[in-house]
Structure formats: C-alpha cells, structure tokens
Chain A
Amino acid sequence: MRLEHKVAAVASSGGSIGKACAQALLKEGAKVILLSKNPSDFSEFQEKEQPFLGLPVKDFTDEEEIKEKAAEAVEAFGSLDVIVNSITAVPEEGVWNEIPEESWRETFTQILTGNLIPLKYLVPSLVEKESGRIVIVSALPGRTGVPGSQFAYTAAHAGLGGMVRNIATVFGKHSITCNGIAAGQIEGQAIDPGAEGSLAGILKEKTIGTAQDVANAVLYLTDEHAAWNTGETLDLNGGRYMV
C-alpha cells in the first residue's frame, strides 16, 4: 500500500472529488480525516470499520470554526502527513458586470479564502514533522480562458495556482511539497454553470473525467515517490488544455 502509516486530511466543499480522494487514500492504507461541508459524505465511510473521522464544516472561511476543526483533525490520529483540498463554490450565472458584488465576492472568498484557512491551521503540523504533502484541487478556468466561466470563479481558481507555488517555494525547506491539480469537468463535481459546454476534453469516451481520475492524481502526488514534485499544477482535463 502506497500510504501505509500516513495520516491524511481531506478538506472538501462536498463534491465527488473530496469523497473519492478520501476513499482512495483509505484504500492505500492512510488514516483519513474528511472535513466536509456535506455531512452525508460521511455515512458510507462510517459503515465500515476503518481509520476514518468525518468532521462536518459549516464554513471554510470561518477562522474560528476551522481552527477548532483542524485541531480535532490533527488530534484524531496523532499527526498529519497529507493535506488535500478540494474546495470550490458554484458561482452565480449572469452577465459579468450585472452580478451583484455580494454574490461574486462570496464566490471568490469561498474558493480562495476557503482554501487558505484550512491550510493555515493544518500546515503547522506538517512543519512540525518536517515533511508532508499538500495537494490543492482547482479547476481548469484558473489555467486558461474558458468562455462563459464567471470572472470571480476564474480569478479565484487562478489564485489557487499562486498559492500552490508560494507554499511550495516557502515550505520546501521543511521537505513539504505542494502541488495542484487543475481539473476539467468531473462527474459529480459542481462546476461553473456558465462554462458548461466549454470544459469537455477530446479523449474518446472520456471527455468528462471521474472523481477517481482526480483521486489517482492525488495518490501520484502524495506517495513517497513524489518527493521531488513540487509547485506543479497538473492539467487533468482530457486534453481540453495542453501546456
């Protein structure tokens, strides 16, 4: 097993990706804490006897709540080796200059700040161990122009790339790696409704990916052999955007 004796925290806004990542990490031997905004995510894990803790989260941008949840997460299995973020938000559809500020601001904050705060309180436990893996799952519009994708959604996902590179650069000295996965359209994962139809890839019978594809990429980037991968954003999009 690729992650035996490792402890992984998965922070999810509740889509299919977070759940699939938790499953994949468990299958590879990791103990898993799933922090999710969708508590129904936990039921299938809790049916089985396995090293799993589900922590319901109301708001990933709420420092007080996340600080507390992060402490619980780290305490659950004594330490932490892997952090996976799959936190996004569904933007309001509409004309770019007619969407009200409180709406686009919420989208932007839920995505970008929502990814920051859990890391702020989880990363110190990796620093303490002088090792660790961080993976931030973002979306294709952050990597290239996607017609119809809402501006705040696009900007926030692009911002996640900056965050990946910054964490990789600053925390490499603690042997912590940080990588991104910019996913195309993924089954069961909420996307930007305006961009629907602009996201599909070109692969035969696989223009849309599965959460398992993302989870596989997470395993690639978190296993022990990925010690020299850092600062990268993997464009996992079925050939929609190649770079």
Chain B
Amino acid sequence: MKRLENKVAVFVGGGSAVGSVALRAFLEEGAKVVLVDIDEKYFERTEEIRREYGEERVRTILGACTDQREMDRAMAFAIQAFGRLDILLNIAGFHGSGHIHNIEPRQWNLALDVTCSGAYRASKAAFPYMKAQGSGHIVNFASLGGRGNRSVAISYAASKAACIGLTRAMAMEMAPYGVHVVSFAPGTLDTKEFARIPEKGSTGFKLPPGGIPGMPGYTGPLLYVGQSVIKDRPVADLTEIAYALVYLSSDESDYLTGDCVDMNGGILMQP
C-alpha cells in the first residue's frame, strides 16, 4: 500500500517549483492531484509528468486564491474529477519586497492577501468536503522567514507568520471534524532547476546587503547563529520538501495538528 493511496489532493499554487516537485512525489505515492494556479505557464513545468500519469491521476484548473469564488470552483472541480478531497496544500505565496520604511502598500497588501488570506480562502472552500468525509489534511506552506530572524522582505515575514497563526486557528476550528491543519516552515530552497516565473505584480525582492547566510554570494560573517549546521547543506532539496509534505498529508501524521513543522538544517531550533 502506498502512502497516499486513493487520496485526492489539491495544490493551490501548484505550478510553483515546490508544487511541481511535490506533484511527482504525491503521484508516486498513489495520490490523485489537482493543480491550481493563476496562469497556464505555471503548468508547463509539469507537462511531462502529467502526460505520464494522465488525466485519471492529475488535472489542472486556473484559479487565484485571492478570489473566494475561484477557490470554491477549484474544490468543486476536484470533487467532480476525483470524487473526494483529502488533502489541501496551500503553496501559493507572494513575496513582495521592501522594508519597513519603503514598502509599497500594494506589495504589503498583496503578500497578506495571497500568502495568508489565500490559505484561508482555499481552506474555507475545502472544509465542507473534508468535514463531510470526517477527515482531511491541510498543509500551509510557510517559511523560516515567518519564524526566525531572517533578512527577508517585511511583507514576507509578516504574511508567513500570519499564515502560521492562521494554521493554529484553523486547527482548533477543524479538529472536532477530524481535519488536520499544520504549517510547514522550510529554510531556503534549492530551486535552481526551475526557471523563475516572475511574480505577477511583484517589484522583485532584493537581497539585503551581504545576502542570505549560506547562499552563494553571501558576504557576512561565517560563523553565524542561524546558519545550517549540516555539512555542505546550506539549502533544502525540493524532493526532501516534497517528502515532508507527503508525511504531513498522509494518515501517518494523524496525531499532528496546529504544529509548525520546521525543516531548515538546524538554522532555527524551536525550543
């Protein structure tokens, strides 16, 4: 028996690098998947694997998590296509750019609207189906940037932290119905295999002077609390991220809810 046999998953922001790699892991573990994203070009990344598994296992639908109706439609589509809904991965995020003194209101609003409110809208849309089934797993893709002292854009730090708070609130609300909600906070991901698709509306994030510890181009102090402690591993491998998501989406994690699961090479060790 595979780890996600007969489970139906919806990936909101499914065309992201993370969503694309998770797709393979989820399909290999037996799940059926609906990818939701805002533009067809995000789906191009997974064309090959989608062809390999066919429409019986993986479907796509356009939709933005900034619009409740589109989320409702995406979940209805999953039910229509595969008959049930077990897993919701909220991967969609908007980075934004800027610091406290110079962030444009639009960047700030959009980050909160996508990263936090988007997870809420998608969860709201999925919940009736999960409630009716009496089971479900919702995983909100947060970040170390919302958890530890990382030099990220202020919109990113705030929206990811908000997403972690939202996770706990939803976990409390949904626990009586057997629905699990967790957040997942990885450190920096190795996405070099994927050509970057610029975020719509983004002014682009500029690395803080000196860069991010452990990343190429980093010029700050080498011994640094908040650096990966694992030899030769400054960043996360997307396949590793994908398998963490498999664990968090499967029945294996049925006693886990509300938690923010870290995966960061020891950069932050929550005491």
Touching chains A and B, CB distance < 8 Å: yes
Q: Which residues of A contact B (CB under 8 A)?
A: 161-162, 164-165, 168-169, 172-175, 177, 184, 201-206, 209-210, 213-214, 216-217, 219-220, 223, 225-239, 242-243
Residues B123-175 near A (CB distance < 8 A)? 134, 167-168, 171-172, 175
When distances are taken between beta carbons in the complex, the residues of chain B under 8 Å from A169 are: 229, 266, 269
Query: Given A202-B175, A229-B263, are A238 and B269 also a contact pair (CB < 8 Å)?
Result: no
Contact B244 A229 (CB under 8 A): yes
| Beyond A169-B229, A216-B253, 12 extra complex contacts between A and B, CB < 8 Å | A201-B175, A201-B255, A202-B172, A213-B253, A220-B244, A223-B243, A227-B230, A227-B233, A232-B261, A232-B269, A234-B261, A238-B175
Whether B176 and A228, one on each chain, are in contact in the complex, defined by CB atoms closer than 8 angstroms, is no
Tally of A-B residue pairs with Cβ under 8 A?
Answer: 139
- Output the residue of A168, A169, A232 with the most chain B CB within 10 A: A232
A177 to B175 alpha-carbon distance, docked (Å): 31
Q: Are A203 and B259 in contact (CB under 8 A)?
A: no
Report whether A165 and B269 are in contact in the complex, using a CB–CB cutoff of 8 Å: yes
Q: Within the assembled complex, what's the spacing in Å between the Cα atoms of A210 and B263?
A: 24
Contact at B236–A228, with CB atoms within 8 Å? Answer: yes
The reply on B30 being an interface residue by CB < 8 A is no
A-B contact pairs, 13 of them (CB 8 A): A165-B269, A202-B175, A204-B134, A216-B247, A217-B252, A226-B243, A228-B186, A228-B263, A232-B263, A236-B256, A242-B168, A242-B257, A243-B270
Q: Tell me the bound Cα distance from A230 to B264 in angstroms.
A: 7
Q: What CA separation (Å) do A206 and B232 show in the bound complex?
A: 40
Q: Does B41 contact A (CB under 8 A)?
A: no
Given A228-B264, A236-B255: A168 and B172 interface contact (C-beta under 8 Å)? no
Q: How far is the CA of A236 from the CA of B168 in the complex (A)?
A: 14
Chain B neighbourhood of A164, CB < 8 A: 269
Which B residues contact A (CB, under 8 angstroms)? 134, 167-168, 171-172, 175-178, 180, 186-187, 228-233, 236-237, 239-240, 242-244, 247, 252-266, 268-271
Q: Which residues of A contact B233 (CB under 8 A)?
A: 175, 227-228
Least distance between A212 CB and chain B CB atoms (Å): 9
Contact (A237, B255) CB under 8 Å given A168-B229, A232-B262: yes
- A162 closest partner in B (C-beta): B271
Q: Is the CB of A161 within 8 A of B261?
A: no
B180 / chain A contacts, CB cutoff of 8 Å: 203
Q: Which 4 A-B pairs have the closest CB atoms?
A: A242-B258, A172-B229, A231-B269, A225-B243
A206 touches B263 (CB 8 A): no
